[in-house]
Amino acid sequence: MEMHVTMSQRQKPEQGLEAQEEKEDQLREEVPVAKEVGTPEEIPAAAEVSQETCSASAPIQANVLSKANEGSGAQAEGGQSTPNAFIYSKILLKPKLRKKVLELVKFLSFKYTTKEPVTEAEILKNVVKEYKHYYALIFKHACECMEVVFGIEVREVDAFNHSYEFLKILDLTYDGRLSDDEGIPKTGLLVLVLGVIFMEGNRASEKKVWEVLNVVDMYPDQPDFICGNPRKFITEDLVAEKYLEYQVVPDSDPVCYEFLWGPRAHAETTKMKVLQFFSKVAGRSPTSFTALYKDALKDEEERALAMLASIAIPPTPDNSGSGDKPGSFSHPE
């Protein structure tokens, strides 16, 4: 069973284009191009992040859903024809503002690796500086990039002091780093793949997965700053961690492969949580994706029934005397 979603509504394209241009004109008046200033200081970073990746983070969020469901007649109900994030991203293509977004992503990723919270005052002082009038736009796009690329949510914990902490999205226990203090979190890529599998009817061809990853400039045979060897990370590392299953498509000729959720993915997250995340970054309600929402609801009901059954029928005690405990997934510290 295949379930498809298309983010952009294609009805009345001329009207949509006119509306988009009108919004862009209004935003240009509200957010004029910043004047040229001196070169900002270098920000310590956990890793190098490409300007192209982060400046495109907003349209990526919509394009990933669209690409994962390309060619489908099923569309999300209601909503605008063009996400506001896409319009904002066109303004942020201005080199100076785009550079500030990149610097803030580096600063936030550094704070994440050192397990330190961050405040608006720190960001203004160390990164935004003379661009304080553009703080809201810069911060918004940097947070979007942190979610899409690294799978890290920047959440406000103190509204008075505007203090923020970092949380791995979907509460997945694995982030792909070698240790707590080394490397970059790769949760965002894992969530992308899990989302594509769900949207493709709970199994996705290898071709489809790489088509979507191409949207975030990741290619199977090109070294990547996030995960080094993308093909190995997707087809071996995530499979070894039991987040993905990678298998031959039955009766395929020539032989091709497909991905399914692995047992650890089923244990640590749900279809509803994945749908809620993608809906959030796309600026829509989960219920607007009718078929996906019904599938996610069915999954929630099945999980609830399984939990009730496990409570009603306690597991038979092991009287073998071996003392062995049931196996569990290895969660890297």
pLDDT (tens digit per residue) in 46-87: 445 555 556 555 445 555 555 555 544 444 554 443 445 544
User: Nearest to residue 92, comparing CAs of 60, 130, 50, 54?
Assistant: 54
- pLDDT for 4 beyond 60: no
pLDDT tens-digit readout, 106-118: 899 889 888 889 9
Instruction: Give pLDDT, residue 76.
Output: 52
For residue 42, name the pLDDT band (cuts at 50, 70, 90): very low
Instruction: Write down the pLDDT at residue 93.
Output: 53
* 251 pLDDT higher than 50: yes
73 occurs within a structural domain? yes
pLDDT for residue 272: 94
| pLDDT at residue 90, rounded to an integer | 52
What 3-state class would DSSP assign to 324?
Answer: coil
DSSP letters of 170-230?
A: GG-S----SBTTBS---HHHHHHHHHHHHHTTS-EEHHHHHHHHHHTT--TTS-BTTTBSH
C-alpha dihedral, 135 to 136 to 142 to 143, nearest 10°:
140
Establish if 310 belongs to a structural domain: no
Quick check: is 329 in a domain? no
Q: pLDDT tens, 164-197?
A: 999 887 778 877 765 454 556 778 888 889 999 9
Identify the pLDDT of residue 67.
Answer: 55
Integer angstrom CA distances of residue 84 from 57, 112, 150, 240 = 13, 28, 22, 39
The pLDDT confidence band at residue 13, using thresholds 50, 70 and 90, is: very low
Which amino acid, one-letter code, is at 150? F
Output the average pLDDT for the chain.
74
Q: What pLDDT is attached to residue 267?
A: 93
- CATH code, 92: 1.10.10.1210
List strands edge to edge, sheet with 257-261: 204-205, 257-261, 244-248
Range of the domain at 114: 19-295
Residue 213 has pLDDT above 90, yes or no: no
Give the pLDDT confidence of 110-149 residue by residue, as tens digits. 898 888 899 999 999 999 999 999 999 899 988 888 887 7
Q: How far apart are CA 30 and CA 215, in angstroms?
A: 30
Q: Is the pLDDT of residue 200 over 50?
A: yes
Evaluate whether residue 14 is within a structural domain. Answer: no
% of residues, the chain, pLDDT over 90: 32
Amino acid found at 101: V
266 against 29, higher pLDDT: 266
pLDDT at position 210 is: 93
Q: What is the pLDDT of residue 241?
A: 93
Flag whether 300 is in a domain.
no
- Tens of pLDDT, residue by residue over 234-249, are 999 999 999 999 999 9
Report the pLDDT value the prediction gives residue 66, as an integer from 0 to 100.
58
Asked if the structure places residue 186 within a domain, the reply is yes
Provide the domain count of the chain. 1
Q: Is residue 317 part of a domain?
A: no
Task: Give the model's pLDDT for residue 41.
Answer: 42
Tell me the mean pLDDT in the region 206-224. Answer: 86
Q: Is residue 181 part of a domain?
A: yes
pLDDT at 215 over 90: no
Which pLDDT score is estimated for 316? 66
